[in-house]
Amino acid sequence: MSRLRTALPAGFAAATALVLVASPAVAHGGGRPDPKPPAVTDVVGGLVGPLSAAVGPRGTTYVTQDFAALVTAVRPDGTTTVLHAAEGGAEAAGVSYADRTLTFTETFYGTSPVSESAVVKTVRTDRAGNPVGEPTVLADIHAYETANNPDGGVSYGLLETDPACVAQVPAEPVSPLYTGHLDSHPYATTSSHGTTYVADAGANAILAIDRRGVRTVAVLPSQPYVITAALAAEVGWPECTVGETYWFESVPTDVEVGPWGQLYVSVLPGGPEDPTLGGRGIVYTVDPWRGKVRQLASGFVGATDLAVTERGTVYVAEMFGGKISVIERGAPRTLVDVPLPGAVEWTGKGLVATTNALPGEGAPPDGHLVTVTTGPSRGHGHGGWHRGWGDDDRHGPGSWFDRGKR
């Protein structure tokens, strides 16, 4: 993370007051508690903005401390080792691990509201998961964005509103009409069969990196929202906008490879990220070969990360909902309540997750890595084919995650 945001969206204070406690899961059909409700166990605390994580060998979990620009290894006993420190104020994020290779991203903002550089880096590891040699650049995502701008042809805003009404809408704090602009923020990575997939929260797209270079897999669909009288009054919009549809950017926060090679993608809506406008987060599946995007589930309050089991069960970290959910029949069901979850990963036996991923107002960063048991039946079901405005974005209401989360 390039810098710690000084004005947290409304709802953060309430979210940070949540207690780390497991909610009893409900058994299918009978309405009775599962024999073994989810249990949350603390592994380590004191992390500075742990917004992404990856499962490594021998019980190791790799965690990015985004606010401190660090990639850290956490052993099962809670001991930590810094594996990489991004230089020059760059953000370290998007860690993943596959085939004895550690992959992560670095994005630099400087004083600009859009990124000045963004790359994906890799480093080989030994059998214990320790880096061998120095990280190297796998791909220059900023250069690809500059040359291609995947969502440059996508229009956002009041697309179906009378132009006479749009003309009355002030340019600040929210642009009434605009097209996708140049910005790259590679926020999550995953690799499979020689291809690394990237969720780019600036480009609003899923990218793929292989031996041929970088390509766009899919640009994610924009998200409609009907403007209410209260929202129009809050942002100083004229009465003619009430009842009109505003099309927000779709900001990907994670990408994972699921069964049969399908990609699973979690998405934050542009605009307010807390519950102000309701649960607008979505999980999509993306065909990595044809780029077809299908909605798997919606209704998430801040879908900042997801995990997919080998059988297709999908877990989602709802940062601003204060919980980790499991997708059932196209909708989220609370698995466990945890404060401000940033990342969630499937280990093969249960989940690891980061909590307290953002600091409370006036409180020092104290992110945690935890393990979460999922009960005897979790991980084997099939999940299916699965407030503040974006004030960092002078072009339009993207997302705090979209614009460097600063």
Q: Where are the domains of the chain?
A: 12-372
CA–CA gap between residue 82 and residue 64 (Å, rounded): 10
* pLDDT value of position 115: 92
Least-confidence region, from 150-159, 226-235, 307-316, 396-405: 396-405
* Topology, domain 12-372: Neuraminidase (2.120.10)
Q: Is the confidence at residue 382, as pLDDT, over 80?
A: no
Better-predicted residue by pLDDT, 380 or 57: 57
Supply 58's token pair: 């021998």
Amino acid at 394: R
* Average pLDDT over the chain, rounded to an integer: 85
* pLDDT value of position 36: 73
Confidence of residue 273 (pLDDT cuts 50, 70, 90): low
* pLDDT value of position 376: 55
Contact 369, 69 (CB under 8 A): no
CA–CA gap between residue 5 and residue 72 (Å, rounded): 22
CA–CA gap between residue 193 and residue 202 (Å, rounded): 26
* pLDDT value of position 88: 86
Nearest alpha carbon to residue 58 among 73, 81, 75 = 75
355 forms beta bridges with: 368
Strands (E), 48-152: 50-55, 61-65, 70-74, 80-85, 91-98, 101-108, 117-124, 136-140
Contact 244, 165 (CB under 8 A): yes
CA–CA gap between residue 19 and residue 42 (Å, rounded): 13
pTM above 0.75, yes or no: yes
Q: Is the confidence at residue 21, as pLDDT, over 90?
A: no
Q: What is the mean pLDDT of residues 102-130?
A: 94
* pLDDT value of position 397: 41
CA–CA gap between residue 265 and residue 278 (Å, rounded): 20
DSSP annotation string for 197-261: EEEETTTTEEEEEETTEEEEEEEPPPEEEEPPHHHHHHHT--GGGTT-EEEE-EEEEEEEE-GGG
Confidence of residue 305 (pLDDT cuts 50, 70, 90): very high
Q: What is the mean pLDDT of residues 92-103?
A: 97
Q: Is the confidence at residue 165, as pLDDT, over 50?
A: yes
Q: Is the confidence at residue 2, as pLDDT, over 50?
A: no
Prior bond of 221 cis (ω within 30°): no
